Amino acid sequence: MTHESTAVGLASAYSNATTASGDWWRDAVIYQVYVRSFADSDGDGIGDLRGVRSRLPHLARLGVDAVWLTPFYVSPQADGGYDVADYRAVDPLFGDLADADELVRAAHELGLRVIVDVVPNHTSEQHPWFRAALAGEPGARERYFFRRGRGADGSLPPNDWESIFGGPAWTRVADGEWYLHLFAPEQPDLDWTHPEVTAEFDSVLRFWLDLGVDGFRIDVAHGMVKADGLPDIGRGAQATLIGTEPLPFFDQDGVHEIHRAWRRLLDSYEGARIGVAEAWAPSSERLALYVRPDELHQAFNFRFLNCPWDPGAMRTVIDESLSATTAVGAPTTWVLSNHDVVRHVTRYGGGAQGLARARAAAMLMLSLPGSAYLYQGEELGLPEVADLPPESRQDPAFRRGRRQQIPVPAVDPAPGPGPAAPGIIAPRPGEPTPPQSAPSPHSQPESGAGPQPHACCGPQTRAGAGPGPDPLTAPQAHAPTRPQAETGTGAQPQACCGPEAVTGAGPEAEMGGGAGGDPLTAPEADGQDGLRDGCRVPIPWAGTEPPYGFGPVGSWLPQPPEWAGLSVAAQTGDPHSTLELYRAALELRRAMPGLGAPEAGPSPDPRGMRWLPSPDGVLLFTRPGFACTLNTRPEPVELPAPGRPVLSSAPVQTDGRTVRLPPDSCTWWAF
């Protein structure tokens, strides 16, 4: 017999005991909404909170447990909202505070929890605190890292730290001092030794908890504390070192006291409010420190996202991840895509092969113990949009020129964030203002298998070139980790994460030309490549032409014409579609008692997971009443059937005794 690729007609188990319990987060499936690319309610081409609220029924039907919203706070949008000017207000681009309140209430009515981003490592340059610091208000600069420069005239940066986005991590103001920004110059780092910083963020968290949110995804959770004295590192290309070795600006022991304090704050609220760390550490053991019982609930597991399509590497990552987190009684998290990385359909080869592998990888992820994160559109099998026109790109690192010296304003700072005061920040030479909402000509998606241009970061596999290093990835990825060797057959597109090292060339070289700006200098080329927009293209909902139901007219990034067949409407009801595969997998995940979270407390064998012998290229493991087979080979493989097939990413042939696994496929079994 042939078992079809998706299961239909399953009994719903949406409100099962695990999800309804206080430990809901231990096996939660959390869906990331990139707000500006999810749904547009007002016709400006940019997604907003009302748009998100209108599409919540899709997420409830999909079967996820919670929604994670990227920043929607008041912001100049220098880095997609991760440069916050007012942490307690909604940017008019996305709506207002009433819209946020209504969204949370609507989600709760549908049984969905809501997690919001908090950005504590840095503010916007337009935050009132930083404006006051530039204006010379007494004590204002103590909230940030302002330092005198080195050299006889102070014209050299205070140390050798580099920005993750490329270039020095320091910018000089007109009176001669320098300020630290580990990311863009528009994102000055806060000094968390200052008591006003601690008190302010306690207040910010309480503000949103009082509104009803269920937790926070903590951006750069590893970065708020810097080593005493801000010591030099002594080498360049520092972005490539993050997650591989100790650095004086990341993963300092002092961050854990901050997270302990936040855990106490979260625990003071009813309803199991959670904290999720976006944290990079040199080892799995260091990462596990963030999820000790008195710290945060979850930390993103970036190693799984970066893992190549190789069964040995996958098994190693799974085993080491589970071992590190269960040792401290925490669940492991799993993720394949996010708003900073090349979508995994493209990373796994693109075309039919990439989609087959992406479907199989999703089933593998959803069968593992712990919590899983889905990125909007992955349930549709969306590929990366690799050829966006340069004029439509808005990633801040796409054109990163040297900033001019910042003059000190002669007037007092404005009382609120508002627009930038004239003259505070000089424009970058040759850099045009990126469009905000006008649609650009439609781009074409990548075609076929093989190496694809990157749309986010790091050492890249250029079209027609061999593979480069394979850096790790992160949800708001501010760091790469150790490059990994490619395995398997042929050159594979690389996983990548946010700000990464680019070897040799910048965006213009990658894209075959660019509008405006000079070529990147060597120091700038050591940071992020600025091509993250390819994974942020608004998703298709319905219709045969762009914007595919995203909004009344247009979209802030152009959508490919080929996406009509990938829309939610086009895939709904098709038992072979990627959308119905995800729906079936999430329904089975709830219905089968052997899936879900590991038990609390240390365990070398979380929730009974056990690897079984299998042919080369195949992974086979069991959990109570359940088995999973993953065939990573490009040809079918026969083996004894481990049970009754209940779901497969591709049609499976079995006579009940043996099974013929399709290439690049995953199958779930009950026994």
Question: How far is Cα 367 from Cα 45, in angstroms, rounded to an integer?
Answer: 37
Question: How far is Cα 381 from Cα 579, in angstroms, rounded to an integer?
Answer: 8
Q: How many CA atoms lie within 13 A of 395 on its CB side?
A: 27
Residue 17, amino acid? A
Q: What pLDDT was estimated at residue 240?
A: 83
Q: What pLDDT was estimated at residue 158?
A: 98
**Given the structure tokens 């993750």, which residue do they identify?**
164
- Could you tell me if 38 and 59 are in contact, meaning their C-beta atoms sit under 8 angstroms apart? no
Q: How confident is the model at residue 70 (pLDDT cuts 50, 70, 90)?
A: very high
Q: What pLDDT was estimated at residue 429?
A: 29
What is the model's pTM? 0.81
- Average pLDDT for residues 326-353, to the nearest whole number? 94
Q: How confident is the model at residue 630 (pLDDT cuts 50, 70, 90)?
A: very high
The pLDDT tens digits for 82-111 are 999 999 999 999 999 999 999 999 999 999
Beta strands in 7-112 (DSSP E): 29-33, 66-69, 73-74, 86-90
Residue 614: alpha-carbon gap to chain centroid: 33
219 catalytic per annotation = yes
Q: Which of 40, 219, 340, 526 is catalytic?
A: 219
User: Which conformational region is residue 602 in: left (phi greater than 0), alpha (psi within -120 to 50 degrees), or beta?
Assistant: beta
DSSP, collapsed to helix, strand or coil, labels residue 449 as: coil
pLDDT reading at 447 higher than 90: no
DSSP, collapsed to helix, strand or coil, labels residue 14 as: coil
pLDDT reading at 418 higher than 90: no
Closest CA to 501 of 458, 550, 454: 458
66-69: strand order across its sheet: 298-299, 274-277, 215-218, 113-118, 66-69, 29-33, 371-375, 333-335
The pLDDT tens digits for 146-191 are 999 999 999 999 999 999 888 899 999 999 999 999 999 999 999 9
Closest CA to 665 of 624, 623, 628, 626: 628
Q: What pLDDT was estimated at residue 529?
A: 62
Question: How far is Cα 517 from Cα 523, in angstroms, rounded to an integer?
Answer: 16
587 catalytic per annotation = no
Of 130-134, 135-139, 496-500, 557-561, the one with minimum mean pLDDT is: 496-500
Please enumerate in sequence order all residues whose Cβ is within 8 A of that of 337, keeping only pairs 6 or more positions apart, or say none: 305, 343, 344, 375, 378, 535
Structure tokens at 111: 């049984």
Closest CA to 186 of 90, 243, 122: 122
Bridge partners, residue 117, by sequence: 217
DSSP 541-599: -SSSSTTTTSSSS--SSPPPGGGGGGSHHHHTT-TTSHHHHHHHHHHHHHH-TTSSPPP
- Average pLDDT for residues 108-124, to the nearest whole number? 98
Query: Could you give the percent of the chain with pLDDT greater than 70?
Result: 75
Q: Which of 91, 278, 378, 580 is catalytic?
A: 278
Task: For the chain, give percent helix, strand, coil, nearest 5.
Answer: 25, 15, 60
- Could you tell me if 224 and 258 are in contact, meaning their C-beta atoms sit under 8 angstroms apart? yes
pLDDT reading at 550 higher than 80: yes
Cα separation values, 537 from 34, 43, 515, Å: 10, 16, 20
- Could you tell me if 63 and 587 are in contact, meaning their C-beta atoms sit under 8 angstroms apart? yes
496-513 in b/e form (b: 16+ CB < 10 A) is bbbbbbbeeebbbbbbee
Q: What pLDDT was estimated at residue 466?
A: 33
pLDDT reading at 290 higher than 90: yes
Average per-residue pLDDT in the chain? 81
The helix (run of H) or strand (run of E) holding residue 630 is: strand 626-631
40 versus 492: which is more confidently predicted?
40
Question: How far is Cα 559 from Cα 575, in angstroms, rounded to an integer?
Answer: 25
DSSP 407-436: PPPSSPPPSS--SPPTTSSPPPTT-PPPPS
Q: How confident is the model at residue 435 (pLDDT cuts 50, 70, 90)?
A: very low
Q: How confident is the model at residue 443 (pLDDT cuts 50, 70, 90)?
A: very low
Q: What pLDDT was estimated at residue 606?
A: 53
Q: How confident is the model at residue 415 (pLDDT cuts 50, 70, 90)?
A: very low
Please enumerate in sequence order all residues whose Cβ is within 8 A of that of 541, keeping only pairs 6 or more positions apart, or say none: 39, 55, 548, 549, 550, 567, 568, 569
Structure tokens at 290: 């963030």
Cis ω for the linkage preceding 662 (within 30 of 0): no
Q: What pLDDT was estimated at residue 531?
A: 79
Q: What pLDDT was estimated at residue 394?
A: 82
Q: How confident is the model at residue 218 (pLDDT cuts 50, 70, 90)?
A: very high
Q: What pLDDT was estimated at residue 242?
A: 84
pLDDT reading at 5 higher than 90: no
pLDDT reading at 637 higher than 90: yes
DSSP 161-220: -B-TTSSBSEEEBTTSEEEE-SS-TTSPBB-TTSHHHHHHHHHHHHHHHHHT--EEEETT
Beta strands 215-218 and 274-277: pairing type? parallel
Please enumerate in sequence order all residues whose Cβ is within 8 A of that of 515, keeping only pairs 6 or more positions apart, or say none: 390, 391, 432
